[in-house]
Structure 1
Amino acid sequence: MPDSLTRESTTTSVVLLATTPACRLSSGDGTLLDRLHDQLATLSVREVMVVSAGGGLGADLRGVAKIARTTTGAVVVLPADLVAHTEALALLLEHPARGTGALVAHDASASPMRPPVRVEGGRIVAAGSSFHLVPEANATFRGVLQAGEADLGSLADVAEELAELADAGRLGPVTPVEAVDLLLVGLVRSGVAVRAAGLGSLHADRVTGQNAADAAVVKLAEVDEARVKLDTSVKQDDGFFATFFVSTWTRHLVKPAVRLKLAPNTVTGISAGLALLAAVWFSAGTEAGRLAGAVLVYLSFALDCLDGQLARYTRTFSPIGAWADGMSDRLKEYAVYIGLAFGFGGTDIWYLAVAAMIAQVVRHAIDYTYEAAVADAARIGAMWGRPARSLLESHDATRSPGGVLKFAQRLERDTIARWLKKIIVLPIGERMALIAVTAAVWNARVTFLSLLCWGGVAALYQLAGRIARSAR
């Protein structure tokens, strides 16, 4: 029976697999198992269940299956021989979606304790073990696997199937060391969407001996974890303008905002207020009014970035906050359109303003309907849309992307091309910059025409990409 430590206020349960001798290695005043226990106590964990060695791989997997079938909320499975930064664990345990994901390092230096995986588009599409091979691997799994509540049934089914195959010796000489690796393989091959949580500069390594454990702990101390936490509060895949002209300085406001006890929703509200003031200045129709409005638009967008950074830093996520942030973006942008149209005057400008609004609505509809379709496919695709791959196939037969998608992924590896792709799609940062510059230097007519022309190109680019992905 597993030991457990309970904290009822959160929704994530952790299964610690203390099934290898390495988990009893010394670390500080205790063992590696004790160290992990202490780290988990600082995170949003409801219950920690320790599965001890004794029954072999099959028994360990059945223990995971039993827990998956009887618990609610997300379940994290990790080996107790893991030496990791607390922030590395938080990449999964503190993620607001509480969805299915795995901790990976984006390198291809696979080893018995670092099984290979292939990551495409932020998801793990192929995973390996000593029995399962991965063609074209581009990352390694680092031992921490989280199953979202919606995927607990799949986790239980996979664990039970693996237990039967392992007991029958049909997976080769696999051992209890590979329990979590096999679970990842099973989830991926069953069609579950597994998010790849990248380690970045953080560390997470499984160890086999005392020297390796000591070296891994020393390696952790070489990283400034507090700085990494601040760095990771900045959105990693943001647009060009947000990355280089806003986040470079708003990141320094995160800690002062924490000291002032500002909530992310409060910052969102201030951002909306600045945008409304910008609309008022634009409506004056004067050169000074357009310049003041442009500055306020920029500051409003800066605070829009800051509220997300503050939420990620403090991990104070909420559905209402995400909804308010998204709605605020739309309302701020359209309020600015109205202010610009009032300030320019005349009937014709309103046609352009309405056309710009409709263009943005259509673009957002393309994005959100596609994302909704992807989410639906993720929920039901394992049943009919994406046939499960057999766990008895040692070589993963998943095809690597071809054609347009393969070319796009090659471009993604090129820094200049990657930033050009981000600029082309005209994200909100680029839109706010376009509005501010054209309104301050020229007038509202130039602003709306620029939005329509660039927005049209962006819509066609996004539509072509959606079609290519869907066709695959």
Structure 2
Amino acid sequence: MPDPLTRASTTTSVVLLATTPACALVCAEGTLLDRISGQLGALSVLDVQVVSAGDGLGADLRNVAKIVRAAPGAVVVLPADLVAHTEALALLLEHPARDTAALVSHDTIAGPLRPPVRVEGGKIITAGSSFHLVPAANAAFRGVLQAGEGDLRALADVAEELAELVDAGKLGPVTPVEAVDLLLVGLVRSGVAVRAAGLGPLRADRVSGQDAADTAVAGLAEVDEGRVRLETSVKEDDGFFATFLVSTWTRHLVRPVALLRLTPNAVTGISLSLALLAAVWFSAGGQGGRLAGAMLLYLSFALDCLDGQLARYTRTFSPLGAWADGLSDRFKEYAVYVGLAVGFGGSGIWYLAVAAMILQVVRHTLQYAYTGAVADAARVGAPWGRPARSLMESEDAGRAPGVIGLAQRIERDTVARWLKKIIVLPIGERTALIAVTAAIWDARVTFLSLLCWGGVAALYQLAGRIARSAR
């Protein structure tokens, strides 16, 4: 496994809960606390603060709240009795979003150290503890919780509220073992969006005895972390074209490209160069030029997928890289539009080209404006952005009504989910549409296809955004 080319700077802090007797269980690295401390040292962590067993769960939660309020960025809370792959910890600690998320396994085998949760649409909508029940659970929490910078205040407030409930005896006979479980419950019930980070084939198990610790540590060797790291470098929620016609082969280039010490930004630059060459070939006109342009455009998109895979594999994330990648996508697409219009000739084609550009700008505005509005609402605590619920109330097992409920049901159907991804005409499908129509027909067909399909996609996006906002 290659070392990262350059490790991105981080402001992620870790709160390590060494509040259970299991933290002192023996392993090859010394104790479980020593083991997980060493793993954290190998990851991008600003600092690790250990909360030792004190005057009970209430005091532990107040210590967590105090640390969180002083943190400069994202905070990860995890117990020191956790036996996990380093790659499992990296799913949260080195995720570029630094968002609020929890490590889960998508199974229903729950237990005292594996509280049940319910996941829908990639988010945890219900979380459990010995006090909080979860109707229709479909996953289990595996002990690692991250709060993004925008949710630190919510986490601190939840920790303090839980401490008061524990001290008042209102949560029953809970113990320090459940500290992180209760924090997850509190975040979910306070309306914070918590991403479910799937564990996949990796292992992460909390243990309570020496035999269980020995078994868990031995089980780690059964999984090839390097192979899992490579597999997880490919986006799970990508579009149909990217998933089945590009990533199936670009994943085999990730390791060789990493060994060549190419950075993701360098791959982005090569992708941009190929797209510009495609535009030049399109501008030449003729069937041969359009075929060459279509092939170069496909290869450009393949490298566009590869740069993200390389960034995830080497964990070389940066705001500059994300910005450059997004800007490059827009520039490549519009350059190809210009090339096609020049190659077709005539003034009429430019009306179609400009209309296609405007439509894409409108669609991007719909997407990013809505995303920004949701983020802003979460930061300021708008009621529709953060619908708070009491930590003492019963959980409602009902489903979201209307359009939102229909969308959630579609997500659970594989065929319908892929159709939904295709309908919105993501960049992979747009690339395929441009390449195929330009190679077989001409630029007029390409622009008309983009306008028709793009118009349907825009209406679909607009209806979805309105329905979610109205909820």
TM range (shorter): over 0.9
Superposition pairs of residues 5-404 of structure 1, within 5 angstroms: 10-381=10-381, 386-393=386-393, 395-397=394-396, 399-404=398-403
- Deviation track 1:370-427 (CA, whole Å, cap 9, x = no partner) reads 111211222123667534211122x223742223322322222222221111111111
Q: Residue 121 of structure 2 contacts residue 411 of structure 2 at CA under 8 Å; is this kept in 1?
A: no
CA RMSD, 1 decimal: 1.7
> Distance in 2 between the 1:22 and 1:342 partners?
70
Equivalent position of 1:453 in the other structure? 452
State the TM-score, normalized to the length of structure 2.
0.95
> Distance in 1 between the 2:149 and 2:403 partners?
35
Per the TM alignment, residue 41 of structure 1 is displaced from its structure 2 partner at its CA by: 1.0
> Distance in 1 between the 2:35 and 2:16 partners?
12
Equivalent position of 1:442 in the other structure? 441
**Paired residue secondary structure (1:392):** coil
Q: Residue 268 of structure 1 contacts residue 303 of structure 1 at CA under 8 Å; is this kept in 2?
A: yes
Q: Residue 190 of structure 1 contacts residue 382 of structure 1 at CA under 8 Å; is this kept in 2?
A: no
- Deviation track 1:323-347 (CA, whole Å, cap 9, x = no partner) reads 1111110110010000001001111
Equivalent position of 2:4 in the other structure? none
> Distance in 2 between the 1:118 and 1:202 partners?
20
**Which sits farther off after the overlay, 369-378 or 228-237?**
369-378
Q: Residue 282 of structure 1 contacts residue 339 of structure 1 at CA under 8 Å; is this kept in 2?
A: yes
Give, as a single letter, the amino acid of the residue that structure 1 aligns with 2:263: A
Give, as a single letter, the amino acid of the residue that structure 2 aligns with 1:187: L
**Paired residue secondary structure (1:152):** helix
> Distance in 1 between the 2:196 and 2:459 partners?
29
Give, as a single letter, the amino acid of the residue that structure 1 aligns with 2:14: V
Q: Residue 74 of structure 1 contacts residue 146 of structure 1 at CA under 8 Å; is this kept in 2?
A: yes
- How many residue pairs get matched? 464
**Paired residue secondary structure (2:49):** strand
**Which sits farther off after the overlay, 406-415 or 54-63?**
406-415
Classify 1:378/1:108 alpha carbon distance in 2 versus 1 (closer, same or farther; 3 Å): farther
**Paired residue secondary structure (2:381):** helix
Classify 1:462/1:106 alpha carbon distance in 2 versus 1 (closer, same or farther; 3 Å): same
> Distance in 1 between the 2:51 and 2:382 partners?
29
> Distance in 2 between the 1:90 and 1:319 partners?
19
- Deviation track 1:342-375 (CA, whole Å, cap 9, x = no partner) reads 0011111111111111111111111111111211
Per the TM alignment, residue 191 of structure 1 is displaced from its structure 2 partner at its CA by: 2.2
> Distance in 2 between the 1:386 and 1:378 partners?
6
What runs of 5+ residues in structure 1 fail to find an aligned partner? Answer: 1-7
- Deviation track 1:109-134 (CA, whole Å, cap 9, x = no partner) reads 22211112222322222211111122
Classify 1:141/1:403 alpha carbon distance in 2 versus 1 (closer, same or farther; 3 Å): same
> Distance in 2 between the 1:138 and 1:465 partners?
26
**Paired residue secondary structure (1:17):** strand
Classify 1:278/1:470 alpha carbon distance in 2 versus 1 (closer, same or farther; 3 Å): same
> Distance in 1 between the 2:427 and 2:315 partners?
23
Classify 1:404/1:18 alpha carbon distance in 2 versus 1 (closer, same or farther; 3 Å): same
- Deviation track 1:415-469 (CA, whole Å, cap 9, x = no partner) reads 2221111111111001101111111111111111111111111112222222222
Q: Residue 382 of structure 1 contacts residue 388 of structure 1 at CA under 8 Å; is this kept in 2?
A: no
Q: Residue 12 of structure 2 contacts residue 76 of structure 2 at CA under 8 Å; is this kept in 1?
A: yes
Classify 1:435/1:147 alpha carbon distance in 2 versus 1 (closer, same or farther; 3 Å): same
What runs of 5+ residues in structure 2 fail to find an aligned partner? Answer: 1-7
Q: Residue 294 of structure 2 contacts residue 436 of structure 2 at CA under 8 Å; is this kept in 1?
A: yes
**Paired residue secondary structure (2:118):** strand
Equivalent position of 1:405 in the other structure? 404
Per the TM alignment, residue 51 of structure 1 is displaced from its structure 2 partner at its CA by: 1.5
**Paired residue secondary structure (2:329):** helix
Q: Which runs of 4+ in 1 moved over 6 A?
A: none
- Deviation track 1:199-257 (CA, whole Å, cap 9, x = no partner) reads 12212111111222222223222111101100111111000110111111111111111
Equivalent position of 2:419 in the other structure? 420
Per the TM alignment, residue 174 of structure 1 is displaced from its structure 2 partner at its CA by: 0.7
**Which sits farther off after the overlay, 185-194 or 381-390?**
381-390
**Paired residue secondary structure (1:76):** strand
Give, as a single letter, the amino acid of the residue that structure 2 aligns with 1:426: L
Give, as a single letter, the amino acid of the residue that structure 2 aligns with 1:462: Q
> Distance in 1 between the 2:363 and 2:258 partners?
35
> Distance in 1 between the 2:400 and 2:59 partners?
38
Q: Residue 143 of structure 2 contacts residue 180 of structure 2 at CA under 8 Å; is this kept in 1?
A: yes
Q: Residue 377 of structure 2 contacts residue 384 of structure 2 at CA under 8 Å; is this kept in 1?
A: no
Per the TM alignment, residue 159 of structure 1 is displaced from its structure 2 partner at its CA by: 1.1
**Paired residue secondary structure (1:78):** strand
Give, as a single letter, the amino acid of the residue that structure 2 aligns with 1:378: A
Classify 1:328/1:29 alpha carbon distance in 2 versus 1 (closer, same or farther; 3 Å): closer
Per the TM alignment, residue 471 of structure 1 is displaced from its structure 2 partner at its CA by: 2.5
Q: Identity across aligned pairs (percent)?
A: 79
Give, as a single letter, the amino acid of the residue that structure 2 aligns with 1:415: T
**Paired residue secondary structure (2:153):** helix
Per the TM alignment, residue 90 of structure 1 is displaced from its structure 2 partner at its CA by: 0.5
Classify 1:384/1:343 alpha carbon distance in 2 versus 1 (closer, same or farther; 3 Å): closer
> Distance in 2 between the 1:29 and 1:185 partners?
32
- Deviation track 1:152-179 (CA, whole Å, cap 9, x = no partner) reads 2222221111111111111111111000
Give, as a single letter, the amino acid of the residue that structure 2 aligns with 1:200: G
**Paired residue secondary structure (1:51):** strand
Equivalent position of 1:462 in the other structure? 461
